[in-house]
Structure 1
Amino acid sequence: MNLENKVVVVTGGSAGLGEQICYEAAKQGAIVVTCARRINLIGKVKEQCMALSGKAAFAFQLDIANPESIDHLVERINEEVGPVDILVNNAGYGIFQEFTEMDPAIFQQMFEVNVLGMMVLTQKMAIQMAEQKAGHIINIASIAGKIATPKTAVYSATKFAVIGFSNALRLELKPVGVHVTTVNPGPIETNFFDQADPSGNYLANLGSIVLEPNKLARTIVKNMVHPKREINRPHIFGAAATLYTLFPSIGDFMAGSLFNKK
């Protein structure tokens, strides 16, 4: 692997998968820029990245749903860090709830965080990467963007949007040497579920199929050097998504029964 002195920007880098991606990139010699709302947490991530890489690291506060916050982030990166080689769009959240019971304000907020803010930041970075004729954009979507299950109507909609956006962006940026990868994980053992499913029942029902964030982070960082179109984990969920496309009626049955653990 060769991430030596590559600038890697990770949104949602204060905890969970984003935090682990920062650490794995730092281990490979990258200059890590971790971004999130919780400034106290990203400060700790920055210090750990510096210890792992022996290089500078940066922690910038970011509210991905706020365009002004995105503008400020890009300005600081340009002034204090330099050209970005790799952008990991990891910021996002979900709430597992029946659609008919959900507050409509959550619809807008979830799209602002999971989709619209991500697109605004990506556009700014993509313009710079296109000028450099090099770069890599990694969008953390979800297997829920391929297989929707009960209580994920809004969350799945945002992740379907991320996948569609990524697929089109990949074709647009390929001629200028910029790669686009979509990562579609199943459930990961992180604090994501503190908000998505406060009961804790979902993770408990899934058992050993739950992903470990550090292992998935290693896979994602390897992909930074050898870009792939798409990463689906666990593999069985990727296979299930293919079957869902080929046999939608069977897929609906499985999504509403076998995969419905909420």
Structure 2
Amino acid sequence: MNFEGKTALVTGASRGIGRAIAHELARQGVQKILLIARNPQRLADVVTEIEYLNAEAIALSLDLADPVSVNVAIANAWRQHGPIHLLVNCAGVAHQAPFLKTRLPHVQTEIATNLVGLYTITRLIARRMATRREGHIVNVSSLMGKVAAPTMATYSATKFAILGFTQALRGELAPYNVKVAALLPSLTDTDMVRDFQWFRWVKPATPEQVAQALIRGLHRGTPEILVDWQSQMALWCQRLSPWLLDRVVQQASPLPDRPLPLR
């Protein structure tokens, strides 16, 4: 993909991986970047950072779980700032807990943002890209979309779903010259996970490393973009010896040694 002079839209852009991707796109020559997140103050900070990198930035404070607001905002944004050549769906939330201790509101929040929000905005942008016969869509999944993780059951489920959605969309939009890829970061050192119990033996990536991997993958046209050697090794292990990977994941997980009381 040639980034020069293009317009991109990044969701979850106020922090972590989304913020790093917005920065990297500006460095690659993207002319205009639309930034979506819920926190207007954090978005304002990112706008300043992007403009310092000589790109135009537009903040759209939105909750992707509100489809009516998203529909109105995207229609206005496309009319005022479009066409959008690249959509990066990075918005996501995660709650860590053993499945038997999960709380339904947390489950609903993860599904609403990670899946329904992604679906809503992708549908709005993809229809417009298909009409123009051009565009790139990147859905940020996770290595947990390939290798499910104990204590992250709902998050893993949403990330598996994103990979299936991405694969189906890739085939459907190919006749319209719209390319669709998935980005699969492993554990990344962001605000979202700093209070989590981390998995043993996993070295976290930085958001900047994830953003750079995305750029490399878009240049190569890679349909599923992995970030580091840990991800490569995990997927090879899954293909060649899934029982061994299951054992390693179980040993690395932060689950307690003894069963939890259910009351």
So what's the TM-score if we normalise by structure 1? Answer: 0.91
Distance 2:88 2:149 in 1: 26
Which residue of structure 2 aligns with residue 44 of structure 1? 45
Conservation of the 8 A alpha-carbon contact between 1:130 and 1:176: yes
Distance 2:78 2:206 in 1: 33
1:87 counterpart letter in structure 2: L
Are 1:229 and 2:223 counterparts? Answer: yes
2:198 corresponds to which of 199, 202, 213 = 202
Greater fraction of residues in helix? 1
Which segments of 5 or more consecutive residues in structure 1 lack a partner in the other structure?
Answer: none
1:240 corresponds to which of 224, 234, 249 = 234
User: 1:202/1:47 Cα in 2 relative to 1: closer, same or farther (>3 Å)?
Assistant: same
Which residue of structure 1 aligns with residue 77 of structure 2? 77
The offset of 1:223, in angstroms, is: 3.2
Are 1:212 and 2:196 counterparts? Answer: no
1:169 counterpart letter in structure 2: L
Q: Which runs of 4+ in 1 moved over 6 A?
A: none
Distance 2:124 2:61 in 1: 17
2:250 corresponds to which of 238, 242, 256 = 256
Distance 2:219 2:134 in 1: 12
Deviations 1:11-45 (A, max 9, x none): 00001111111111111221111110001111111
Question: Identity over aligned residues, as a percent?
Answer: 31
2:224 counterpart letter in structure 1: E
Q: Quote the RMSD (CA, aligned, Å).
A: 1.8
Distance 1:17 1:174 in 2: 27
The offset of 1:219, in angstroms, is: 2.1
Taking the TM superposition and a 5 Å limit, the aligned residue runs for 1:176-191 are 176-191=176-191
1:260 counterpart letter in structure 2: S
Conservation of the 8 A alpha-carbon contact between 2:93 and 2:109: no
The offset of 1:165, in angstroms, is: 0.5
| Larger deviation, residues 40-49 vs 216-225 | 216-225
Which segments of 5 or more consecutive residues in structure 2 lack a partner in the other structure?
Answer: 256-263
2:133 counterpart letter in structure 1: K
| Aligned residue-pair number | 254
Distance 1:235 1:114 in 2: 25
Distance 2:77 2:163 in 1: 26
Deviations 1:188-222 (A, max 9, x none): 1110114xxx2x5417x446x21011122122134
Conservation of the 8 A alpha-carbon contact between 1:206 and 1:261: no
So what's the TM-score if we normalise by structure 2? Answer: 0.90
Distance 1:256 1:57 in 2: 43
2:208 counterpart letter in structure 1: N
Distance 2:93 2:232 in 1: 21
Are 1:33 and 2:27 counterparts? Answer: no
Taking the TM superposition and a 5 Å limit, the aligned residue runs for 1:56-205 are 56-194=56-194, 198=195, 201-202=197-198, 205=200
User: 1:103/1:201 Cα in 2 relative to 1: closer, same or farther (>3 Å)?
Assistant: closer
